[in-house]
Structure 1
């Protein structure tokens, strides 16, 4: 039930209380102890349309203002039961975690629950009354989400302050309202587990310059009393605002944390490598994008193409092409594979269009189709490297991903030799096209040259791999003879490594646990050695978490909710190991 219209201009209870206090002070300063100063209770305690306002409620006004003590009882009364309050928080948490609009709680969830209860339990006025007592208005859901997000942030900051070190992952993007949003994730060790959590989402004013990005991080650290020296690593993409070593973000951060290590996102570097291709293959890629655009630009053409696919027996799952976005690095491989799979239907489709003779000719050209097949197979391998290896998990570390990258490079070098020998089984689509004839010398040269260029580009973009591994043999192979040779271990650390290498319990843990978990388990017995090892495991190798976070941001902040401040919702839907303390929040009301 909403407030009467006459309450629109009514004075706030706080104002009335302060006026009463001032009157008492002006008449007799010695009467301070007798003044009953009213402090308004939290918003939830004030009766409103979603928290059980009495039908006879009347807003206080100048003409009918009740005595101070009476007003205090009226405004301070608790009209929501503890179970209803807890249910309100739980529903709000689910709304945030599923990235739904706040109105869904009152417009869909509550009516649906009521209908389910009626269907399963029969008509019962008691439970209907209890359901109606749960505060679920959009404003209430927003407050609940803000409170739970603040509680999660408090717990996270407490964990960061207890941790020895932590690492950051940052990325910046523009949302639907053209506002620059900075996302940050943090990695740290908590209770013998490596944790990766959402840290913040901050709107950047104006242009997203390095100084503005640093100011956003620095303000957050100062607000929560997080010391910069605890930050030992930072992972970003290669944007100019972040990677500048003299005036970019890295330079500013290193002034605050001199020991910080910077890692350039491996996914971003791999994307840069994949874009570097010869003119012939680049033309094939451009033609594929033209094909997709031509088919998808009109609904009539899309329907015609789907009909051709059905008639050709391609199957229901393959009646449409996929679109590629330059910022979705993994989508290119899927687009190429789909175009190659539907090549017969595309040939028939373009044969029906006189204005696309050039595109129609491509699907009748065996050489062009072979290049398409090669790109489809190659990008499938790159996507496999991206998906299963590069994105990793909480126990994935930079050294491990460099090892996987080195394995991929060795495969590329072996593929070159096989193509020269006429062996094409590692490229199944190419093998399918060429099963009745060998590759032409020109196509063989094109593929081999591209593989050589890939090898060189990977070597250029990942040239620091050996530097990263330097002096770290003892971390990966602590039980190997001479593991400490050439390392930068102190005398105390080297002695602890010797003790560890002869400990049978540690050896068993090394053989049965992931490397990160093994070193965490050594923390108690070998603290100095473990602390140095953990600094190599903390840095992020990619900005994959930020990319996933931006996907959630796109889902949350649409043209219909462009004014939303998304940080609280993101904190609840992206945080994995920390839960809001709902019971404590209820007790605070």
Structure 2
């Protein structure tokens, strides 16, 4: 394990040192979450693109923050990482973070789900109860703060299994809100809006998602949000199935003021959180389609190359046939050096903190309740191995050991005997 960990660490160092030596741009994606012992763990991934347009994403560092987790604390950790790898601040093109909040732990839905799922007897009885009443679903999902998509799934399933009220009454733990139609409206709206947000979040996930794909999803979501708001305020629930179901079951009016406040806050948050993308909209558009941009509006160092590009029908055909990375890779470096460099900078930008979220999910399995005493050093080593794209050469490492006998050679010896 030590050799494999060293190999993974060397791969991160190799990538970082190559970026530092060539002065190439790179971007970081970072996020912080707590492990089973409530220790804050900060992940920092680095992405770089070399001259051959090969994209490299590696976990540059994982740090345990046992004190405060302020912005200043996180900044210091980033600064130490740059110093360790001899990277310069002017090479850092972008930092991608996730500022979203999880569901509140005091919310009635979460407390009720935890009451059912955290106790074995309650959980078994609840599943038997659902079977007896022939409920649509056999169980409730367990909400977990790290897996941020679970919030919407929990709300949706909780709304669909409103038979929970009967079960809670039988357990002498009544929940009065389940009989409150105003609260049920809010639950239905929350389930629908979270499902809507989850659909948007999923579009941002995946490896090597380009920044232009992220911005396209953001612009599309904003327009959808405006449309849905106008429909909801007119009590049209064609895109909100939970609200439509409740509308058919109860006579009480939909809480328009509550929904209006949510929509207003949501639009405000989207405006703030994606303001950096809005500020870079022209750069993203040029990168996404260099054949559809005004020469006079381009940076001077790109103008001549883009004129040549727009006049080349063969390259226009390659643009239509290939993805963006492959297209920019095929441009001759002697003719389009500035444009290739410009493209590499934007390709290196993380579209989301997907890699951090994925790694945190692994961390919950690695440092579980059965391995809560795992040291920070060992946790970091395991996570480095589990997240790296480096392919360890086991046979080569083992062949250098004095007492190592290759398995095939061992079989030959057996047959000889």
TM-score range, shorter chain: 0.7 to 0.9
- For residues 343-370 of structure 1, the C-alpha deviation after alignment (integer angstroms, 9 at most, x for no partner) is 12x13213324452xx1x4334444333
| Alignment equivalent of 2:128, drawn from 296, 307, 310 | 307
| C-alpha separation in 1, matches of 2:48 and 2:254 | 52
CA deviations on 1:151-207 (whole Å, 9 max, x unpaired) are 534543455345722112223444445655432211111433323222232445755
Whether the aligned pair in 1 keeps the contact of 2:29 and 2:356 (CA below 8 Å) is yes
- Could you give the per-residue CA deviations for residues 98-154 of structure 1, whole angstroms, max 9, x where no partner exists? xxxxxxxxxxxxxxxxxxxxxxxxxxxxxxxxxxxxxxxxxxxx3333343345345
Distance in structure 1 (CA, Å) of the matches to 2:2 and 2:265: 55
Once residues 216 and 445 of structure 1 are traced to their aligned partners in structure 2, the CA distance between those partners, rounded to angstroms, is: 43
- Residues 32 and 40 in structure 2, CA contact (< 8 A), matched pair in contact too: yes
> Does structure 1 residue 506 correspond to structure 2 residue 366?
no
CA distance in 2, matches of 1:223, 1:416: 49
Aligned to 1:341: 160
**Partners of 1:470 and 1:217 in 2: CA distance:** 29
- SS of 1:434's partner is helix
Matches within 5 A, 1:28-427: 142-153=1-12, 155-157=14-16, 159-160=18-19, 161=21, 164-176=24-36, 180-190=40-50, 191-203=52-64, 207-208=68-69, 213=74, 216-236=77-97, 265=98, 268=99, 271-272=100-101, 286-296=107-117, 298-314=119-135, 318-344=137-163, 346-356=164-174, 359=175, 361-387=176-202, 389-397=203-211, 399-427=212-240
Are the aligned partners of 1:395 and 1:517 in contact in 2 as well (CA < 8 Å)?
no
Return the alpha-carbon distance in structure 2 between the equivalents of residues 209 and 415 of structure 1. 37
Q: Does the C-alpha gap of structure 1 residues 495 and 421 become closer, same or farther in structure 2, counting only changes over 3 Å?
A: same
Preserved contact between residue 325 and residue 347 of structure 2 (Cα < 8 Å): yes
TM-superposed deviation, 1:213: 4.8
Cα distance in 2 for partners of 1:452, 1:585 equals 59
Count the aligned residue pairs.
395
Answer yes or no: is the 8 Å Cα contact 1:169–1:186 preserved in 2.
yes
SS at match of 1:565: helix
Report which of the two structures shows the higher radius of gyration computed on alpha carbons: 1
Q: Give the Cα–Cα distance (whole angstroms) in 1 for the partners of residues 249 and 125 of structure 2.
A: 33
CA distance in 2: counterparts of 1:229 and 1:519, whole angstroms: 23
Q: 1:483 to 1:587 in 2, by over 3 A?
A: farther
Show CA shifts across 1:12-47 (max 9, x none). xxxxxxxxxxxxxxxxxxxxxxxxxxxxxxxxxxxx
Give the whole-Å Cα distance in 2 for the aligned partners of 1:213 and 1:523: 41
- Distance in 1, matches of 2:295 and 2:96, equals 28
- Give yes or no for the alignment of 1:546 onto 2:406: no
Sort the Cα spacing of 1:220 and 1:286 in 2 relative to 1 into closer, same or farther, 3 A: closer
- 1:50-100 CA deviation, whole Å, 9 max, x = no partner? xxxxxxxxxxxxxxxxxxxxxxxxxxxxxxxxxxxxxxxxxxxxxxxxxxx
**Counterparts in 2 of 1:435 and 1:220: CA distance versus 1, 3 Å:** closer
Question: Offset of 1:386 from its aligned partner?
Answer: 0.8
- Contact 1:193–1:517 (Cα < 8 Å) also in 2: no
What is residue 258 of structure 1 aligned with on the other side? Answer: none
The alignment partner of 1:539 has SS state of coil
Q: Residues 146 and 568 of structure 1 are in contact (CA less than 8 Å); yes or no, is this contact kept in structure 2?
A: yes
Contact 1:167 1:234 in 2 (8 A): yes
**Structure 2 CA distance for aligned equivalents of residues 338 and 554 of structure 1:** 24
2:344 is aligned to 534
For residue 328 of structure 2, what is the aligned residue in structure 1? 519
> Per-residue deviation at 1:299?
3.5
Cα distance, 1:152–1:347 mapped onto 2, change above 3 Å: same
CA contact (8 A) 1:420 1:444 kept: yes
Q: Provide the C-alpha distance between the structure 2 equivalents of 1:377 and 1:328, rounded to a whole number of angstroms.
A: 18
RMSD of aligned residue pairs (Cα, Å) = 3.3
Over 3 Å counting, the alpha-carbon distance change for 1:440 and 1:460 in structure 2 is: farther
- Cα distance between partner residues in 2 of 1:547 and 1:485: 41
Answer yes or no: is the 8 Å Cα contact 2:40–2:65 preserved in 1.
yes
TM-score (norm 1): 0.59
Specify the SS of the correspondent of 2:95. Answer: strand
Name whichever of 500-509 and 335-344 sits farther off: 500-509
Is the 2:49–2:347 Cα contact (8 Å) retained in structure 1?
no
Structure 2 contact 29–46 (Cα < 8 Å) conserved? yes
Structure of higher RCO (CA pairs closer than 8 Å, 6+ residues apart): 2
Classify the secondary structure of the residue corresponding to 1:550: helix
For the Cα contact (< 8 Å) 1:174–1:180, is it kept in 2?
yes
Q: Are residues 1:450 and 2:269 paired?
A: no
Shift of 1:508: 1.8
Give the whole-Å Cα distance in 1 for the aligned partners of 2:77 and 2:273.
Answer: 29
Contact 1:471 1:486 in 2 (8 A): no
Alignment gaps of 5+ in structure 2: 402-417
CA distance in 1, matches of 2:6, 2:277: 44
Query: What TM-score, normalized to structure 2?
Result: 0.81
Q: Contact (CA 8 Å) 2:229, 2:263: kept in 1 or not?
A: yes
Alpha-carbon distance change, 571 to 494 in structure 1, aligned in 2, over 3 angstroms: same
Equivalence for 1:109: none
The more displaced of 193-202 and 151-160 is 151-160
